[in-house]
Structure 1
């Protein structure tokens, strides 16, 4: 058995104010588990994306989390959960005025190939993206695969 205090875990860089590696701290081998706290306008993801081999479940602890999906927008309120199959595109966002707390679970732990799409001003459309650390390691950036433009910066 393993036990952790989520508030004591390191906070990972990314699109959410708080992203904590619960599964890593517990030593999970077959699933990824992350705890998120999102300020208004933030997301659990770097963009609209799909994992090639991983299904994801998001359980909303507090607040309401909106998801952009292939079938349209879906809201998930506290006490509700949503599942995305491998290869299914989605992107969360906190459209509310308050914080949202959510637990994200993915299985298997290795998500496989990530397809990540973001709006690229230079290309004038949503394009494939890669996530890279800055040279000084102070941020992660999303970069358009088509033109090399930086489309997002996350600390």
Structure 2
């Protein structure tokens, strides 16, 4: 049995610095098969950065307070998730969650299986300068920075 207080979990920001508060609760609990992160998003901040998908992990977001907006799929359908609501993304579905309101969003990101990401199974949508269009990119984390490789032409950027 493990027990922690969210207040005691150390804050760990995303390498893209897209949010001020992210607390990896699952790491503090020592989970192996389940990811759980607490977030506080100020106006303009996001859970993870750009539109992305986890090919190996199902994700659920719970909004404890405020309203988060999610862009879903390649058409970037906008879905508002209000206080007390949840949204689920199956493996392979592109999504991006952020705060585009004036009040702080407090929320949770839950994922399974696995307590950490398999970087080989994470992909992001980004502009490829060689393709001159938005394309799907494989994502790697190298020395604390993200490296994106276009799945169409192989161009790397980081």
Decide whether aligned partners of structure 1 residues 7 and 32 sit closer, same or farther in structure 2, where only a CA change above 3 A counts: same
Partner of 2:81, secondary structure, is strand
Q: Distance in 2 between matches of 1:87 and 1:12?
A: 25
Decide whether aligned partners of structure 1 residues 126 and 83 sit closer, same or farther in structure 2, where only a CA change above 3 A counts: same
Map 1:39-78 onto structure 2 (within 5 A). 39-70=42-73, 72-78=77-83
Which of 107, 128, 139 pairs up with 2:112? 107
Query: Residues 12-45 of structure 1: CA distance to partner in whole angstroms, max 9, x if unpaired?
Result: 1212211111011112121000001111111111
TM-score (ref. length: structure 1): 0.81
Match of 1:153 in 2: none
TM-score (ref. length: structure 2): 0.80
Unaligned runs of 5+ in 2: none
Match of 1:21 in 2: 24
Unaligned runs of 5+ in 1: 135-139, 151-155
CA deviation after TM superposition for structure 1 residue 10, in Å: 1.3
Contact 1:20/1:35 (8 A) holds in 2: yes
Which of 25, 30, 34 pairs up with 2:33? 30
Match of 1:130 in 2: 139
Q: Distance in 1 between matches of 2:140 and 2:45?
A: 17
Partner of 1:145, secondary structure, is strand
Match of 2:103 in 1: 98
Match of 1:118 in 2: 126
